Amino acid sequence: MTKPNIIQLSEFDITQRIIESLSNICTRSVLFSVKNESKDATQIADELKISLSTVYKTLSILENLALAEVDKFVISPEGKKIKLYRSRIGKVEITMDNMEPSLNLYSNTANPKSNG
C-alpha cells in the first residue's frame, strides 16, 4: 500500500484544517467579531464590510470546525427566526516543532449575553 502524500493527509487532519481556515483574514475576522457578543450574519457583514454570502459561507466553515456555534435564536419583527452566532474560541496559539504544527485552542470565556 502506498503512503499518502502530505496533501492527502492534510485533508483529513483537523488540526491542519483549522490552521488553514484561521490563516484566512476573513475567517479570523468573522470568528473574532462574535467573540464578545452574539451576532447575526447581517450584523457581521455590516460590521466587517463583507458580503452576506461570504459571512454565511465562513460561518458554515467555522461551525463545521466547531470554532463557532449558534448561541441563540431571535425572532425578527417580520416573524423570521434569526440565528445569533458566537465564537467558541477566545484565543488561538499555533506553534511549529520539527515541521509539525501544534494547535492550542482556548475556550471563549466572554459572556454570550453581553450586548455591548
Q: For 7-57, how does the pLDDT look when each residue is reduced to its tens digit (9 = 90+)?
A: 555 545 788 888 889 889 999 999 999 999 999 999 999 999 999 999 999
Mean pLDDT of 92-115: 76
Whether 58 shows a pLDDT value over 80: the answer reads yes
- How far is 116 from 93, CA to CA, in rounded Å? 26
> What are 17's three cell numbers?
484544517
Residue 7 has a pLDDT of 52
78-87 residue pLDDT tens: 999 999 999 9
What does the block give as the cell for 71? 448561541
Kindly write down the DSSP assignment for every residue of 31-89, as one continuous string: HHHTSSS-B-HHHHHHHHT--HHHHHHHHHHHHHTTSEEEEEEEE-TTS-EEEEEEESE
All structural domains of the chain: 13-107 (1.10.10.10)
Can you give the pTM of this predicted structure?
0.77
